[in-house]
Structure 1
Amino acid sequence: MSSVQLKKQILCALFATLTSIFSQILLPLPFTPVPINLATLAIFLSAGLLEVKYSVLSQILYLILGFIGLPVFAQFTSGPSILLGPTGGYLIGYVLIALICSFLIQQRKKQTAVALPLPVIFMIGIFFCYTAGTLWYMYSTHTQLLPSLFLCVFPFLPGDILKIITATILVKKLDRISI
């Protein structure tokens, strides 16, 4: 195994760990089972700094760790019941953020397509996370679309804007030092 390959694997594990830690930095909301946390900031960073494969693997690793019982999900929860529960779709959405954002960022770096600004790329990623999460929430709780959006999406948009701004700044600065 080359030192470059080892470095990429270590960074993959690091971003899984960062997602785990950032999942614990949260603000529970009394009216929804979904807490505000910083996990998506870690995912945006992994998407902006890692190749597609490693960004996606970091989030799959995060989900596996939680699934097998390590308390990495928000509020130190874990297990299949969380992943398959009403908010599990948002956790699966983390993989979508990593996949879509890192792919679009790699295309942006190659300049093979129209270069979308980083904040737009992150907004596209969060849109797919919200779509997967809300659809799963609606299915698992038998809640209609509008109430689901008021419980699981709208309260989180201001924080997501701040995370997108923060991730954009950090990715631009950290990308220069070639992680």
Structure 2
Amino acid sequence: MKITAKELTLCASFAALSAILSQIAIPIGPVPINLAHISVFTAAGLLGARYGALSQFVFVLMGAVGLPVFSGFNGGLFSVIGPTGGYIIAYIASAFLAGLIIERSGKSTVPVLAAAIYTGWIVTYLFGTLWYCYITHTGFAAALMVCVIPFLPGDFFKTCFSIYLIKKLNPVLSMSVR
């Protein structure tokens, strides 16, 4: 896979943006509310499946090796394999799948972007919640009440803001990455 300087710069920029938006957080329990998914889904919409996922892989890798890029300036392997690690790892799959849906549709209309992003949310919630259940020995319904339900209203606004950013930045970036 050959990657251009522009593609590399954009992937690095979205990895850095994920690190920054992770710090804008409200610790409400075992899973904090943060803004990282704005970067995940905006990367998917602007960079496409492959580079959107690569940007989030770089973000996860930075945290796994100990850089304090996760919420609350956390980092290290335990952050990735701990109770909330499934949500962090799911950023990669969410960016890939959302980007793939957008690419395959050939459109960046609001309905396509919304469908792609909500598919990414499902991946994040499913993988993250199952991981949380496994690590904490919590039942699925109880985990949903702690790890999903409180986040749904905010995730609606993150989805709307991600769509807004994609629509505004796509013409400006005039991406030939996808």
Deviation, structure 1 residue 96: 1.2
Q: Is the 8 A contact 2:48 2:102 kept in 1?
A: no
Q: Is the 8 A contact 2:26 2:32 kept in 1?
A: yes
Q: Compute the RMSD of aligned alpha carbons.
A: 1.7
Q: Could you give the per-residue CA deviations for residues 42-83 of structure 1, whole angstroms, max 9, x where no partner exists?
A: 101100000322111111100110011100000000001110
List structure 1 segments (4+ residues) > 6 angstroms apart after TM superposition. Answer: none
Aligned ranges 1:29-178 → 2 under 5 Å: 29=28, 32-109=29-106, 117-177=112-172, 178=174
| Partner Cα distance (1:51, 1:10) in 2 | 14
| Partner Cα distance (1:110, 1:5) in 2 | 24
Q: Could you give the per-residue CA deviations for residues 105-127 of structure 1, whole angstroms, max 9, x where no partner exists?
A: 1112269xxx9521121011011
Same amino acid, percent of matched pairs: 43
| Partner Cα distance (1:26, 1:70) in 2 | 17
Q: Is the 8 A contact 1:138 1:144 kept in 2?
A: yes
Deviation, structure 1 residue 87: 0.4
Q: Is the 8 A contact 1:69 1:78 kept in 2?
A: yes
| Partner Cα distance (1:162, 1:110) in 2 | 22
Q: Is the 8 A contact 1:108 1:116 kept in 2?
A: no
Q: Which amino acid aligns with 2:124?
A: C
Q: TM-score, normalised by structure 2?
A: 0.92
Q: Which amino acid aligns with 2:34?
A: N
| Partner Cα distance (1:55, 1:42) in 2 | 9
**Structure 2 gap ranges (5+):** none
**Structure 1 gap ranges (5+):** none
| Partner Cα distance (1:128, 1:12) in 2 | 21
Q: Is the 8 A contact 2:45 2:166 kept in 1?
A: yes
Q: Is the 8 A contact 2:48 2:96 kept in 1?
A: no
| Partner Cα distance (1:110, 1:94) in 2 | 22
Q: Which amino acid aligns with 1:36?
A: I
Equivalent pairs counted in the alignment come to 172
Corresponding residue SS for 1:72: coil
